[in-house]
Structure 1
């Protein structure tokens, strides 16, 4: 069973711990780390998306963040992000490769597989440069059905208009784009 810290609005643990299932059943605030992998090809910014397995408890079969995951009780944002990269994609990274884009707070409620799913997250958003071909990644089969590079501008447009099945928030993609543009000016 996966245990999560209940956190305040800034992502600081309150001292209470719940199971992941309980956090989503009751809509209790918890933390996640999101890592967006980007590269430049032929002058275009590209972003790697994972396609969630049909067995996932939320948004099965939808395109999602390159790598993301819940932060286990007692752990922190960056170590969890690095662990998820390794588990989900077979990517070994160092903390300094994760460029902080900001923090997001969001809540939503849906029904998946016939059961209510309530989410209340505080998420740290990171971007990481990695110029790998899709076949070099090692997607975790229980979690991910495929990984695919998208032209960043096309991805943002498609997410905004809902023309691909996705659970991506456009404002998060814009956070990543702002960070990439800041780095390019330096």
Structure 2
């Protein structure tokens, strides 16, 4: 079955629907969801990231927000988020467990990407000290990074990023191993978490 995505103009006005492949090939504006999973524990505040499957067409083996996916035509952002969270992480969440923090507009064309990507992204937060992940086929691993460490990466260009993998334990990552979502962490996630502490 062909997946249809709602297409927008650059001001987020709906202008129709197109097949997902065409949306990407032509670089049309469309909508996606991201969910940042945060664990507040005795040993600090941790951010979770997924390692994208090696089989993915775009950014295989990169580290990305815990959940990310397209909003299908006729679907609300929250419906898409809950569906994607189940598919990617095996978490069956309820609407009241996630919080919408805002929307970002991404129009960068990255050299690593096989297509121009123009997205309106609805950014959500899910907090759980011990999430029980059961990753689906699109996710090869889940890692966690201390909030202070990721803040150093974003603000101070930290080059060596210590992390903990669910499958293999401690590892060190470099900034270029992450998908880039300009401003998302600094403008939405960090202010929210600092407000709570």
Q: Normalising by structure 1, what TM-score?
A: 0.86
Matched with 2:193 is 180
- The structure, 1 or 2, with the larger RCO (C-alpha pairs under 8 Å, 6+ apart) is 1
Residues 1:12 and 1:139: Cα distance change in structure 2 (over 3 Å): farther
SS at match of 1:139: coil
Q: Distance in 2 between matches of 1:43 and 1:10?
A: 43
1:111, CA displacement in angstroms? 5.4
Per-residue deviation, 1:145: 0.7
Partner of 2:4: 3
Instruction: Give the aligned partner of residue 135 of structure 2.
Output: 139
**Displacement after TM superposition at 1:39 (Å):** 1.1
* Number of corresponding residues: 178
* Aligned equivalents of 1:62, 1:177: Cα separation in 2: 22
Contact 1:45 1:152 in 2 (8 A): yes
Q: Is the 8 A contact 2:58 2:114 kept in 1?
A: no
- What's the CA shift for 1:183? 3.6
Unaligned residue ranges in structure 1 (runs of 5+):
none
Match of 2:75, SS state, is coil
Does residue 76 of structure 1 match 2:76?
yes
Q: Distance in 1 between matches of 2:32 and 2:12?
A: 9
Cα contact 2:35–2:66 (8 A) shared by 1: yes
Aligned: 1:169 with 2:184:
no
C-alpha separation in 1, matches of 2:118 and 2:149? 29
Change (3 A) 1:64 1:116: closer
* 2:38–2:126 contact (8 Å) kept in structure 1: yes
Tell me the CA shift for residue 108 of structure 1: 2.4
Q: Following TM superposition, by how much is the alpha carbon of 1:109 offset from its aligned partner in structure 2, in angstroms? A: 2.3
Q: Secondary structure at the match of 1:118?
A: coil
Structure 2: stretches of 5+ with no match in the other structure: 160-173
- Secondary structure at the aligned position of 2:46 is classed as strand
For 1:170 and 1:3, locate their aligned partners in 2 and report how far apart those are by CA, in whole Å: 26
Report the TM-score when normalising by structure 2: 0.82
Provide the rounded CA distance (Å) in 2 between the counterparts of 1:10 and 1:86. Answer: 30
